Amino acid sequence: MKPAPRKIAVMGAGSWGTTFAKVLADSGTEANTEVMVWARRDEVAVEINTRHTNSRYLRETKLPGNITSSSSIADTLEGAELVVLAVPAQSLREQLRSFKEFLEPQAVLMSLMKGLERDTDARMSEVIAAEIEIPADRIAVLSGPNLAMEIARKQPTASVVACSELETATWIASLCSTEYFRPYTNTDVIGVEIGGIAKNVIALAVGICDGLGMGDNTKSSIITRGLAETTRLALALGGSYETLAGLAGLGDLVATCSSALSRNNTAGRLLGQGLYLDEVNDRMSQTAEGIKSGRAVLDLATRHNVEVPITESVVMVLEGTLSVENMGARLLGRQLKSEGELK
């Protein structure tokens, strides 16, 4: 296996980028790996460097001393053998264009993002491959039940690093393994990404049910049938069943759909309580990827002839063609079918 890198760059100083930088720094202390976080706003970089906090996203959580930050893309990427991407999914393509000239020639890129690009329906690993033109063995993704605030508090969790080349995934896993963060490896990049993307839309649906005052049977039914439609989509795209039964599928779906920390779940709850989408967006200070990715998930599924009734209903609510009150009737009124059908 390759030795630990001298430097890892994390592009994006939001809640997950900063928290994952902390995981990397906690993991790499003995190897003296420098972890540098790129922040869009200079004041965030200054706060990380001087106070070792990022209070807007992680309140008073203390960041390890081997994390530094800069608002300069060039400085952050210089010498970085691993580049971790943690910006909102819809901004990735544009950001990569500004990162490209500063990337080290052999750098490995890993996406932390759980979104699908609108209009192209591209997964983040596909956007990276298209914009940076590096081989698949240097493109990885990380996904799993990973609510940032819990990890920042060092509450134990597991996750999945996926790359078509197992050696790359194994190398990255060795760089982010700590006493509170256990990464598994997988070569099924499609399954891992689809699990992370689709669960955000399902979490919106569960949040809507919550906001409408529905109980646990309703939410459990949405979670379970949500997993069925996510699995159908992943299989149609070439992902594997086992991946969707694992941390990046079931694991993340359960965490996101049950947690008040989830931004997607929260956004859904506000919709269920009767707020308009504009009002919900105004209240969200962080990225809820499902709101923008929902339409792309539906388009992707439609192109592949995959039925995703929960996603479709959520998109209709988001686009104003279905009221939250009528969502249940729309889902329950469908033709009866066998539970086992995964096609």
Ligand X SMILES: O=C(CO)COP(=O)(O)O
Ligand Y SMILES: NC(=O)C1=CN([C@@H]2O[C@H](COP(=O)(O)OP(=O)(O)OC[C@H]3O[C@@H](n4cnc5c(N)ncnc54)[C@H](O)[C@@H]3O)[C@@H](O)[C@H]2O)C=CC1
Residues annotated in a binding site for NADPH: 15-16, 40-41, 57, 114, 148, 263, 289
> Which contiguous run of DSSP H or E holds residue 157?
strand 157-162
Binding residue count for ligand X, defined by CB under 6 A? 15
- Rule CB under 6 A: which residues touch ligand Y? 12-17, 40, 57, 86-89, 91, 95, 112-115, 146-148, 286-287, 289
Cβ contacts of 101 within 8 Å, gap of 6 or more: none
Among ligand Y, ligand X, none, partner that 257 touches (CB below 5 to 8 angstroms by kind): none
Residue 82 Cβ, how far from ligand Y at the closest point, in Å?
A: 17
Looking at 102-110, 222-230, 251-259, 301-309, which segment touches ligand X (CB under 6 A)? Answer: 251-259
User: What CA–CA distance (Å, rounded) separates 187 from 334?
Assistant: 36
User: What CA–CA distance (Å, rounded) separates 323 from 272?
Assistant: 9
Identify the active-site residue in 199, 219, 292, 337. 199
Answer for which of 7, 22, 114, 269 binds ligand X (CB under 6 A) is 114
Q: What is residue 3's DSSP assignment?
A: P
Residue with smaller CB distance to ligand X, 145 or 272: 145
**Residue 293 in the binding site for ligand X (CB under 6 A):** no
Residue with smaller CB distance to ligand X, 196 or 239: 196
Looking at 60-68, 214-222, 232-240, 248-256, which segment touches ligand X (CB under 6 A)? Answer: 248-256
Q: What is residue 309's DSSP assignment?
A: H
What's the sign of the alpha-carbon dihedral 111, 342, 269, 276?
Answer: positive
Among ligand X, ligand Y, none, partner that 145 touches (CB below 5 to 8 angstroms by kind): ligand X
75, amino acid identity: D
Is residue 30 exposed (0-12), middle (13-18) or buried (19+ Cβ within 10 Å)? exposed
Residue 1 Cβ, how far from ligand X at the closest point, in Å?
A: 27
Judge whether 221 and 279 are in contact, CB under 8 Å: no
Mask for 59-98, x = binds ligand X (CB under 6 A): ----------------------------------------
SS3 24: helix
User: What CA–CA distance (Å, rounded) separates 75 from 230?
Assistant: 39
182, amino acid identity: R
Residue 121 Cβ, how far from ligand X at the closest point, in Å?
A: 19
Residue with smaller CB distance to ligand Y, 2 or 40: 40
- CA dist 248 to 61, 197, 227, 302, 340, Å? 26, 10, 11, 23, 21
Among ligand X, ligand Y, none, partner that 87 touches (CB below 5 to 8 angstroms by kind): ligand Y
Residue 162 Cβ, how far from ligand X at the closest point, in Å?
A: 15
**Residue 188 in the binding site for ligand X (CB under 6 A):** no
Residue 129 Cβ, how far from ligand Y at the closest point, in Å?
A: 18
**Residue 146 in the binding site for ligand X (CB under 6 A):** yes
- Is residue 199 annotated as a catalytic residue, yes or no? yes
Crossing angle of helices 289-303 and 309-318, in 10° steps, is 130
Residue with smaller CB distance to ligand X, 54 or 262: 262
If phi over 0 gives left and psi between -120 and 50 gives alpha, with beta otherwise, what is residue 121?
A: left
* Exposure string over 6-23, b if 16+ CB within 10 A, otherwise e: ebbbbbbbbbbbbbbbbb
Among ligand Y, ligand X, none, partner that 98 touches (CB below 5 to 8 angstroms by kind): none
Residue 336 Cβ, how far from ligand Y at the closest point, in Å?
A: 35
SS3 312: helix
Within 211-240, the residues that bind ligand X by CB under 6 A are none
Residue with smaller CB distance to ligand X, 33 or 265: 265
**Active-site residue set:** 199
Residues that bind ligand X (CB under 6 A): 114, 145-147, 200, 203, 252, 255-256, 262-265, 288-289
